[in-house]
Amino acid sequence: MTDLEAREAPPGAGALRRAAPALLGYAAVRALGLLVLALWSAGRGKSAYTLLTARWDALWYTRVAELGYGYEVRLPNGDVHSNLAFFPLLPWLERLLHAVTPLSYADGGFVVSLIASLAAAWGVFAVADHVYGRRAGVCAVLLWAVLPVGIVQSMAYSESLFTALAAWALYALLTGRWVTAGVLASLCGLTRPVGLAVVAAVWAAGITSFVRDRSTAPAPGARAEEHASPLLGDRTEQRARRGRRTLALLLAPLGAAGYVLWVGHRTGGGPLGYLDVQAGWRNGFDGGYAFARFVADKFTSVPGALAGLGLIVGVGLVVRLYVVCVRQRQPLPLLVYAGVVTALALCASSYFGSKPRLLLPAFPLLLPLALALSRLRPRRSALVLGSVAVASAVYGALWLNGSGPP
């Protein structure tokens, strides 16, 4: 267990009071975003609520909740878009809320998103507070809220649910709650394919901890009193900790593995059947080749060249932030998680416009910026965040009333 893991976590009520400024700030940013969206949509004769709950992927999730799996769309070019591409946890929750309340499936997705986004904000705060302190935690939450595609946090999408589960899984790892981390990682695997990032973080932390314990174990034949250490505890506690750690490693991949294997069985494609489903959407992992070609194609015209240059700058910024995270020696679980999320987002072979949305759960990338903001005078950091919040709200309204998230 590292020094970070050894720090005592605050009790429940105290933790909520400690996180209150971050949660209130987050709610204010999201309320601003929804208000601007409502006004913009009304001016264009559209329903903001429909944009949030019954368009794009949100519609696919509600169809899974209502009809179950098996729905597919065959396109003229021969592609098959199957709803098996969408992981089941969000539709399960939509179905549950529909069963126990008067809410429709779409309403249920919106409610889940609102609650999950607050849980995610609290989780982001908990992680950042644990690593860098309270002010950095508040700044991290507000930075996550004001991301240009932050409006997705209020949509009936799975990003908020996934980020909530992932953030609390990482916090559980940082505080030595191994079984909790394993369970949450398994739920992440039932939410989005990128749940593999949380599984990787659990395994990296677990294996490192096993190696550390082995390196500090007394040599064979040595007298026990010569190697006694209060950090290791007695042998019973060591065995119990190893057992919890092993259980976490076993639990973490169950969600993703279970769904992927079920899809393979249902489609007859075997263990790799889910990849065939994704191929029907022309989605896969090619190491970033297709994305690089997409960016290169932008430079065939002057307006396109500006867009291509913007994409290069954006990718460079993401990579730069990750390098800074490494240099600042963030805890290993955060580095592994952010690295896998970033790699999967940037190296997917299709839906290039969705990459900012796919990066939304990679909140550890924001921690260097949060730390820098926390060192500014409060008035100056508030001015920066407030200005970005307004710009983000306007962009979110423009985006959803235009092309929207693919």
SS3 assignment for the chain: CCHHHHCCCCCHHHHHHHHHHHHHHHHHHHHHHHHHHHHHHHHCCCCHHHHHHCCHHHHHHHHHHHHCCCCEEECCCCCEEEHHHCCCHHHHHHHHHHHHCCCCHHHHHHHHHHHHHHHHHHHHHHHHHHHHCHHHHHHHHHHHHCCCCHHHHHCCCCHHHHHHHHHHHHHHHHCCCHHHHHHHHHHHHCCCCCHHHHHHHHHHHHHHHHHHHHHHCCCCCCCHHHCCCCCCCCHHHHHHHHHHHHHHHHHCCHHHHHHHHHHHHHHCCHHHHHHHHHHHCCCCECCCHHHHHHHHHHHHCHHHHHHHHHHHHHHHHHHHHHHHHHHCCCCHHHHHHHHHHHHHHHCECCCHHHHHHHCCCCHHHHHHHHHHHHCCCHHHHHHHHHHHHHHHHHHHHHHHCCCCCC
Closest to 112 in 3D by CA, of 154, 145, 147: 154
Every domain of the chain and the residues it spans: 3-216+236-400
Task: Give the chain's length.
Answer: 406
CA distances from 228 to 153, 238, 323, 403 (A): 49, 13, 39, 63
Q: What are the structure tokens assigned to 393, written together?
A: 């709200």
Rounded to 10 degrees, the C-alpha dihedral 114/117/118/124 comes to 180
The whole-number pLDDT of residue 289 equals 78
Give me the residue label for tokens 């990482």: 170
The whole-number pLDDT of residue 2 equals 42
Radius of gyration of the chain (CA): 22
Is the CB of residue 86 less than 8 Å from the CB of residue 193? no
Closest to 180 in 3D by CA, of 196, 195, 165, 161: 165
CA 372 to chain centre: 22
- Chunk the chain into consecutive blocks of 10 residues (it has 406) and report each block's average pLDDT, rounded to whole numbers: 45 82 97 97 95 93 95 88 95 97 96 97 97 96 96 96 98 96 98 96 94 69 48 69 92 96 92 89 81 81 80 92 96 98 89 86 97 93 94 95 83
- Phi first, then psi: give them for residue 405, nearest 5 degrees: -80, 120
- Note the pLDDT tens digit of each residue in 45-101: 999 999 999 989 999 999 999 999 999 999 888 888 999 999 999 999 999 999 999
Closest to 365 in 3D by CA, of 82, 163, 91, 96: 163
The whole-number pLDDT of residue 6 equals 42
Rounded Cα distance, 111 and 53, in Å: 10
Rounded Cα distance, 318 and 322, in Å: 6
- Decide: pTM greater than 0.85: yes
Give me the residue label for tokens 């294996």: 207
CB atoms within 10 A of CB 328: 13
The whole-number pLDDT of residue 51 equals 95
Which CB contacts under 8 angstroms, 24+ apart, belong to 356-359? 356/147, 356/148, 356/149, 356/314, 357/149, 357/152, 357/157, 357/159, 357/405, 358/194, 359/318
The whole-number pLDDT of residue 10 equals 54
Is the CB of residue 251 less than 8 Å from the CB of residue 186? yes
